[in-house]
Amino acid sequence: MRMNKPRIFACMGSEHGQKGFTLISCLLSLTILLTTLPFLPFMFKSLSYNTYYNELSIQQFFLFLADECHQANSIVIDENRITLTQDNGKNVELSLYDKVIRRQVSGQGHEILVRQIQTFVATKVPGGLKIQIRAMEGKSYEKIISTS
């Protein structure tokens, strides 16, 4: 008697013991997806945050300017340009240049203190000076620095 050998084909439909997707597993994954979908906008909104970079940089500029004014021997304000004379005789100049407030020592250098500035107004007030800054985003900042 002759034994029949199973023939091996190039493509077999399925082997016994393989597991695939069933209708129940597809419905279960669709249910999980549809229940979590309404919560996605809330999760993405909670991930976004507000940056206070401009406010912090302007506040830091005010602190830096107050420190410079307290160390200066004399302060001259003309055409929204602040000139501070230091102990060593050098003149430190703070002015609006393009969209930045820059610091120059004796007319040399280009140290940027604050960026994205629309207007910079410095006026002399009794006992100090008043600084008004308008950022490019439209917010205004004001500080009175005592020089006594």
Tell me the per-residue pLDDT of 55-85, one tens digit each, with 9 for 90 and over.
999 999 999 999 999 999 999 998 889 999 9
142, 90 Cβ separation under 8 angstroms: no
Tens digits of residue pLDDT in 81-98: 999 999 898 999 999 999
Query: Structural domain tally of the chain?
Result: 1
Would you say residue 23 lies in a domain? Answer: no
pLDDT value of position 51: 84
pLDDT, tens digit, 9 for 90 and up, residues 104-120 = 999 999 999 999 999 99
Residue 16 lies in a domain: no
Interior/surface letters 13-52, b for 16+ CB within 10 angstroms, e for the rest: eeeeeeeeeeeeeeeeeeeeeeeeeeeeeeeeeeeeeeee
In a domain, 138, yes or no: yes
pTM here is: 0.68
Which H or E run includes 95?
Answer: strand 91-97
For tokens 């020592």, the residue is: 105
Tell me the two tokens of residue 81: 């340009």
Residue 108 is assigned to a structural domain of this protein? yes
- Residue 106's domain comprises 53-146
Sheet holding 128-135, edge to edge: 117-125, 128-135, 140-146
Residue 97, in any domain of the structure:
yes
